[in-house]
Amino acid sequence: MANDKKRPVQEVRMGSIRAAIWENETQNGTRFNVTVSRLYKDGDKWKDSNSFGRDDLPIVGKVVDRCHSWIFSANGATSEHNDKGNEDTPF
């Protein structure tokens, strides 16, 4: 069914840069993934690309940071990382 298409749980957009946050249920609980794209117009039609120019990169960083904050708020900073109060600990 076309109407059953999964939608992101959250979108973050700044200018032409858009990130979609996707929720996935796993055996270990809820996980979130992020896709990032750049919107552009080709004639009268809007398209998107996952290629970014030099001037896009600072905005990509800000959008991804907002996604990170949203995921930590939604997820309660649990399950994805071993959260023992040490932010420098690698995954």
Mean pLDDT of 50-72: 97
pTM: 0.76
Please check the confidence at residue 89 and state whether its pLDDT lies above 70.
no
- For 9-17, what is the mean pLDDT? 97
Cβ proximity of 20 and 34 under 8 Å: yes
Write out pLDDT tens, residues 15-58.
999 999 999 999 999 999 999 999 999 999 999 999 999 999 99
Buried b / exposed e along 60-88 (16+ C-beta atoms within 10 A)? beebeebbeebbeeebeeeeeeeeeeeee
